[in-house]
Chains A and B, each alone.
Chain A
Amino acid sequence: MRTVTVVALLFVLVMGWGLYQKSAPILGEIPLWNLLTDSTWQPFKNQFGFLPFVMGTIWVTIIAIVISLPLSLFTAIFLTEYSRRCVKKIVYPALDILASLPSVIYGVWGTLVIVPWISDKLAPHFVDFSAGYTTLAAGIVLSIMVLPLLVSLFVELFSSVSVDLRDTAYALGSTRWQTAQKVVMRKSLPGIFASVVLAVSRALGETIAVLMVCGNLPQVPQSVFDACYPLPALIANNYGEMLSLPMYESALMFAALLLFVVVLLFNLVSRIILRKIEEN
């Protein structure tokens, strides 16, 4: 049993090492900094600039968090501080459903609902033309996917704030919102930060749903109505042809390594913070 546990532990290291080995050829040829800041992507001419993909990933993630953070904060505060049992009985199963739906279903929903909505209703107010397959669409779909995770983390955080603290605030004459804002949320600020980091790392790796609505053009998006091409989509779209060129394969594995390292760091930081809070 000890061996199984230790082997499972080593798996993290083996994974990082394996991906590094595979991406070593391209790292040997092109310096890391150039890989990340160059924006020409022409694999068959040996030009590998990851900037469009990195920017696409960052944009999509930022949109997702900007939408889902206020939504989930208010939902969680409502669930822990305000709501009655009957509301919880509806909202929790609804969040359960959101959490259990597979990524590809979100993709289908995105193409059926969000993409037409953006191209017909929203985009005409801002730009001349948009096909709907945009950075914004990917961000919206992603925000809904991380929503249940954020709400469940927040609910756990808020309900771990001691009742005494709340009672003290009420006794001093503060309203419910003041208590929620200045006591409950302030007390769980590190936890909120950690939860957001965790949600970011979840958003970074989402593949199929984003791939289906983001437009998949290797360009640095100039506005939210431009198509984009995040890193996971890059890997998923090109896995078929990557074996044709050794450098191409190495480039895609570098993309995977990049995701792995960033997600690993984000996860480590947030989990350590959350663990500390849980222990207290």
Chain B
Amino acid sequence: MSWWLSLSKPRLKSKKMKKSIVKEQFARLLMYLSIVIVLILVASIIWTIFSRGAKCLTWEMVTSLPGGGFYIGKEGGFLNAIVGSLYIVLASTAIGLIISVPVVFFLNVYLKTKSKLAYVARLAFDVLFGIPSIVYGAFAFTLMIYFGLRTSLLGGILVETLLIIPILIRSMDEVAKNFPRELLEASYSLGATRWETMGVVMRQIAPGIATATLLSVGRSIGDAAGVMFTAGFSDTIPTSLSQQVATLPLSIFFQLSAPQIEVQNRAYAAALVLTIIVLIISLLGRFITNRFSKHNLR
């Protein structure tokens, strides 16, 4: 019977119905359009960076330090910036983890679910997450002046640590929040202390810690505004914490503002290197979330 009904349907369409069908189609059109625009934008960015950078990138650039006359187009590479970025990112991530893992445990294991302190703390970290890195940079700069520090590797590590702590905490917390309370209770009922129970928690949120770490590495390796004030810039690889250090984003920025084409080309090459690093980190994050979280209890 139903095929007969569907045959007679078109005749039943009222004016109002037609109008809503037209609206529906128009809305669909707009949606397809937005999706296409988004995809084109992503493709354009990736394509621009890769095609422009690949033309200029040479092996020498990623393996050598800036030579004499580097900023007027003479030979040399930006190894100083790559290593500098790695130093800052690795150190700040390590310190950030040492500080933020206990905070996440405290929020999720020690405090009750409806605790006021946990609410305020989460809100505060969300807010800190939103504070722009330029403000972190300005603040860290005043702190450094107050303590008599100069722009240095130490300063860069300091500001990046401050910057990523909220990211680390909030993204680990999102995972830890879904942690089944029953597991805690099971552990307690076997006579484990809260400290011992943490081992159980740790195993469950390990993928969360990994993705949070990658997220913050991605954020701190790409941050320019924070290190601008605090880390300075140098053409060599620092050998102590008190020396200035170059970073990849700043190296791109400085080289791009030079008038010489050769220097600008190197900026595009450096942009390609940075993009590749960031894309690898982001892919790795996706892989870890997909691969390892399926063993977890929900």
Chain A residues with a Cβ under 8 A of chain B? 1-2, 4-5, 8-9, 11-12, 15, 18-19, 21-22, 70-72, 74-75, 77-78, 82, 87, 90-91, 93-98, 100-109, 111-113, 144, 147, 174-178, 180-181, 198, 201-202, 204-208, 212, 232, 235-236, 239, 252-253, 256, 259-260, 263-264, 266-268, 271-272, 275
Contact = CB atoms under 8 A, between A and B. Distances in A.
B103 A105 contact: no
Given A19-B138, A109-B48, 4 more contacts: A1-B102, A19-B139, A180-B27, A181-B27
Nearest to B102: A1
B190 interface: no
Nearest to A231: B134
B52 A260 contact: no
Contacts of A87: 35
The size class of the interface chain B forms with chain A is 35 or more
A95 B127 contact: no
B45 A101 contact: yes
Contact of A205 (B110, B123, B133): B133
By secondary structure, the B interface counts as helix
Interface of B: 20-21, 23-24, 27-28, 30-35, 37-39, 41-42, 44-46, 48-49, 52, 99, 102-103, 105-107, 110, 117, 119-128, 130-135, 137-139, 141-143, 162, 165, 169, 218, 221-225, 228-229, 249, 252-253, 256, 267-268, 271, 274-275, 278-279, 281-282, 286
A252 B139 CA distance: 11
B224 A108 contact: no
A8 B253 contact: no
Contacts of B121: 5, 8-9
B117 A205 contact: no
Nearest to A81: B31
Contacts of B133: 205, 207
Contact of B221 (A70, A77, A102, A106): A102
Contacts of A18: 139, 142-143
